[in-house]
Amino acid sequence: MKSTTLFFLLTYAIMAKAQNTPPVNFTADQDHQNMMKQLGIKTLRNGPSGDESAPNHANYDESLANPYPDLPEVLTLKNGKKVTTPQMWWKQRRPEIVEDMEREVYGRIPADVPKVTWTVKVTDKERVGFFPVIAKQLIGHVDNAAYPLINVNIEMTLVLPANAKGPVPVLMMFGRSVLPAPAQPPAADVEKINNALKELLVKDHPELKTIFEQYPAYNPIAEQSPFGSAGFPTMKGDPPTATQLIANGWGYVLIDPASIQADNAEGLTKGIIGLVNKGQPRKPEDWGALRAWSWGAARALDYLETEPAIDAKHVGIEGVSRYGKAALVTLAFEQRFAMGLIGSSGEGGAKLHRRNFGEAVESLTGGEYYWMAGNFMKYGAAEATFGVKTAKDIPVDAHELIALCAPRFTFISYGIPEQGDAKWLDQQGSYMATVAAGPVFKLLGAKDLGVSSDYKTEKMPPVNTGLLNGELAWRQHDGGHTDAPNVKYFIAWANKLMGYGKEGADKGK
């Protein structure tokens, strides 16, 4: 009996100590070195420079861009058997790809991630452009009872059209959680507030009385437009994304990635990754920031499923650049998301790892390694206990990430280098990956891009020529590092596929 009591006391003491052990505060270099040591890596190859005049500049010669021209067969099992039915895809091939993606590329979401409790912080009647909306700011508190030294509070804003006649589709976007146009008190109430403020200020600071008398029209709080500034175009062109969504009867969500996991290596022992690891450094198979952001998006979707004004079966995910990578990872792994607008995602997103053009695997085994699983660093190793590995050794590639989204609506978007969507992103390599994912969409009864499946010979269509007739879509616009010029095309494409709005009504015509 005494030994049993002693065992429980010791166990409790160990748990209490772990609960109060401060997070490790590694610098980025220290964390990077720690992971290299865990993996047995002595040196890594340097990534290419984006400066074309640098000695180690990235390759932009298409004749040198495909050193490993053969991609992993997306519809061939590891035992060599061809996948010929949807059931084989869902039961056998897809789980193989998911396992390799989690273990080697993006990391695994731990089984014991704490629960998230959502609280509405603000509910406000506002306007986006000229359209009335209901806007809510929410906080998703992650239960940190097991490790109180780290707090994670996910910040999210939900905006829905006020006059919708039924549940609406919603696009979730990675970005700062801000209200579109906080409602202002009417002019008479603003005047009362200003009068009261002036009295209080003069009471505490009598010298201000002379200033107020000298400038009688001045008010501490200036009256604002009842429409606010949100939702109005600031330049020639299409309205802002938020306005286009609301005008088309959609809602939208802004979810702040930084409130889930910091976009830096120093934050790996904090945020949701640090909370689950109780402030300790990652192991090689642990999730990176991209997977953490996608986990946060899924927890936001948990909340959206409780909102009766939302068509929870038609919630999409959107992001550009690093958040385009996160949006694609979210759509691939979180099957409740119905659609995605994937903007300029590059390496780690829609770009093929095996391509030697612009951004490379070595770019993400060095500076931005924290986006990925620790294991991904192996593929940049120049000297290691396991030898040398390159992009060719990665068991999966970007076409399979896109294939994991099938048969759901997947819109791959890029701009042009001349306007700032750099060659570094490898638009052609991303198009090749999209083409190579097509057979999975077709196997599952969806439409692909409508071109051949030969990723080695297919070339991108002309700029501003969209391939938008299937559940898998591509469009390169003539703008820069943004997906904004493709938003109107995305909405019309998604509406038609959903049977929603005017485009949906016209679907059968």
DSSP per position, 346-412? -TTTTS-TT--SSS-HHHHHTTTGGGS-GGGGGGGEEEETT----GGG-S--HHHHHHTTTTSEEEE
Q: What are the DSSP calls for 363-382, one per residue? A: HHHTTTGGGS-GGGGGGGEE
Summarised one tens digit per residue, pLDDT across range 381-409 is 999 999 999 999 999 999 999 999 999 99
Q: Can you tell me the distance from the alpha carbon of 365 to that of 371, in angstroms, rounded to the nearest whole number? A: 9
Pair 104, 84: CB distance under 8 Å? no
Per-residue model confidence (pLDDT) at position 7: 52
Q: Can you tell me the distance from the alpha carbon of 13 to that of 83, in angstroms, rounded to the nearest whole number? A: 53
Mean pLDDT of 15-29: 81
pLDDT at 212 over 90: no
Assigned token pair, 87:
């059931």
Per-residue model confidence (pLDDT) at position 501: 78
> Among 78-87, 167-176, 496-505, whose mean pLDDT is lowest?
496-505
How many residues does this entry show for the chain?
509
Mean pLDDT of 5-24: 62
Q: Which residues of 78-101 are buried (b: 16+ CB within 10 A; e: fewer)?
A: eeeeebeeeebbeeebbebbeebb
Assigned token pair, 223:
């009256």
171 φ, ψ (degrees, to nearest 5): -110, 120
Which amino acid is residue 398, in one-letter code? A
Residue 180: cis peptide before it, omega within 30 degrees of 0: no
Mean pLDDT of 444-451: 98
Structure confidence at residue 188 as a pLDDT band (50, 70, 90): low
- Mean model confidence pLDDT for the chain: 91
Q: What is the pTM of this model?
A: 0.89
Mean pLDDT of 395-424: 98
Assigned token pair, 329:
């990872």
Pair 75, 395: CB distance under 8 Å? no
Pair 431, 342: CB distance under 8 Å? no
pLDDT at 8 over 60: no
Q: How far apart are the first and last CA of the chain?
A: 79
Mean pLDDT of 218-242: 63
State the greatest distance between any 2 C-alpha atoms of the chain, in Å, as a whole number.
88
Task: Pick the more confident residue, 3 or 138.
Answer: 138
For residue 102, give the DSSP letter. Answer: I
Pair 170, 314: CB distance under 8 Å? yes
